Amino acid sequence: MLEKEQRILERDSEDVSGRVHHLPEMKLSTAVRKGIAQGRSREMRKRKLLYGIGAIAATAAAILITVSSLGVAPKEKQYDLVQTTSIPQPADLESFRPIAKYDQGIAAALDKGIVKPINQSVERKGFRIDIAGAFTDGRKAYIMYSATNNTDHTGYSLIDFLEFGGVEASSIRAESKHAMGSNALMPGQTGYYVYTANLVPSAPYKEGATIGVKIWDATSGNYRDQFKFTLPLEPNLFKNEERIYHPGSTLIVDGQKINVRQVQFTPLNAYVDLEYDKSNDKQIFKLLNPVLIGKSGDETKKVYYPDTMFSDDTKVTLVFKTNEFDRLDRTDLKIAGMAALDKNKMKIVVDLNKKQIIEAPDTHIQIIEPDNPAGAGEILFHFKLEKAQAAESFGMWLEDSFTDANGVKHKRLSPENIKQGGHLVSTADDYTEDYNAYNFGKEALNYPQPLTIGVKKYWNPIMESQSVELVTNQPNK
């Protein structure tokens, strides 16, 4: 269905199990993200199945966007290079105002009047793309564009990549935000979008942007067109307005050190770059309920629910939707705890013939009988945790390979008979459940037992509220 497959749905949702590795890779559109957010809100009152394989498959069939690497020279893309033409009448940027409710950066740019006008257009094979404006702060890039479908088929306009000086911006968590009910364009319809992409601070971006666009034809089920064009845009339009601090402070939660590497305020957002100390004996998966707290005299401001950028086993960047805190006397970061696991417990050891767990991170995981008879070499893991901080939880992720008792590595196979799978939460009762099918393959019954699976993510909340000072009212360090 798409050229590139896997990974990004897992990374975006943070609660999809490894079973989705057979589905096409995508980045969630704003409509899907909005649906997830609404689902979380409804779950505050009732139990809700967030992700099952069927739901993921339906999403995969509906949303088609791709992923690239982190700030590296892109692989050659077979896109026609086309010339843009000037738009005679400058675009009305207020057409993008409804999208601002999804992103503080968009709202700030519109309110401050700091969008750089582009007003360039491309028309190909019945689709017209108008680039109205753009703005960048060195950490995120925003491209405002409209798409008009002048064909007789329903279609989707997809920005596939963004480059600065030949270096591709990350498309992990990149998306085209919109305020329509669907990102599909009916014949004759015009849609308004803001494409956002994260920028790697260390990447050698240079002035001059290239944008790659794909047009998906919903009737034929194929790409109608793919092309690229250049724009006069630099990766940081607000370099003289940013404020960067290096506090050198550390959060300590359950003995684990979380080092504050950098705090950056821009006209669009506040970015807090954190690193997990190499000496930690626990793997940190997630920080729970981060809050940015700003104080000025008797006034206190708080910003909740940050986005994350470039989260992995060693670091995370929290993106707080505010552009006001650099003017306050003091700014702190507070967290309620973290999801983490001892590094020496990040495995599940199984005797496949006995269908027995020999070693696991804790006692909350077990092997159960599936609703349908399992295939030879298939098992179903069940995880349940009460008092789970369920609203913050994510599903268990397992490695796509396992090791037999002789140390030989084998690949996990696609699901065969077991259809169960998903991440279940109840915020009302505060519990979370996971159903995770794993197919070793029938040949694994003859492998030297036991078999060991690596754990990539595991929900183990550690509630310990801590805070750290980020910035005081002082010159840049």
Q: How confident is the model at residue 88 (pLDDT cuts 50, 70, 90)?
A: confident
**Whether residue 362 is found in the same domain as residue 452:** yes
**Whether residue 305 is found in the same domain as residue 349:** no
**Whether residue 175 is found in the same domain as residue 78:** yes
For the domain that residue 252 is a member of, what is the CATH number?
Answer: 2.60.40.1640
Provide the residue range defining the domain that includes 428: 343-461
**Whether residue 227 is found in the same domain as residue 290:** no
Residue 348 falls inside a structural domain: yes
The 10s digit of each residue's pLDDT in 369-380 is: 999 899 999 999
Residue 170 falls inside a structural domain: yes
Average pLDDT over residues 400-424: 95
| % the chain with pLDDT above 70 | 83
Number of domains in the chain: 3
Residue 84 pLDDT > 70: yes
pLDDT at 473: 76
**Whether residue 206 is found in the same domain as residue 225:** yes
pLDDT at 225: 92
**Whether residue 375 is found in the same domain as residue 329:** no
Residue 280 pLDDT > 80: yes
Residue 337 falls inside a structural domain: yes
**Whether residue 79 is found in the same domain as residue 218:** yes
Q: How far is the CA of 67 from the CAs of 89, 162, 175, 439, in angstroms?
A: 34, 11, 10, 27
Distance CA 437, CA 400 (A): 12
- Which of 163-172, 266-275, 343-352, 393-402 is least confident? 163-172
Distance CA 466, CA 333 (A): 8
**Whether residue 363 is found in the same domain as residue 309:** no
pLDDT at 474: 52
Residue 77 pLDDT > 60: no
Q: Which of 457, 34, 54, 471 is nearest to 248 (CA)?
A: 471
**Whether residue 195 is found in the same domain as residue 98:** yes
| % the chain with pLDDT above 90 | 73
Residue 64 pLDDT > 60: no
pLDDT at 463: 97
Residue 218 falls inside a structural domain: yes
- Which of 65-79, 353-367, 459-473 is least confident? 65-79
Between residues 67 and 188, which one has the greater pLDDT?
A: 188
Residue 2 falls inside a structural domain: no
Residue whose tokens read 């968009």: 106
Q: DSSP string spanning 123-181?
A: EETTEEEEEEEEEEBSSEEEEEEEEEE-SSS-EEEEEEEEEETTEEPEEEEEEEE--SS
Residue 477 falls inside a structural domain: no
What does residue 112 show for φ and ψ, rounded to 5 degrees? Answer: -85, -10
**Whether residue 212 is found in the same domain as residue 101:** yes
Q: How confident is the model at residue 173 (pLDDT cuts 50, 70, 90)?
A: confident
**Whether residue 134 is found in the same domain as residue 214:** yes
**Whether residue 105 is found in the same domain as residue 221:** yes
Could you tell me how far CA 243 lies from the centroid of its own chain? 26
Question: Which segment, 278-282, 324-328, 370-374, 418-422, is predicted with the most confidence on average?
Answer: 278-282
User: Where a domain ends, among 177, 197, 231?
Assistant: 231
For the domain that residue 92 is a member of, what is the CATH number?
Answer: 2.60.40.1630
Residue 37 falls inside a structural domain: no
Average per-residue pLDDT in the chain?
A: 85
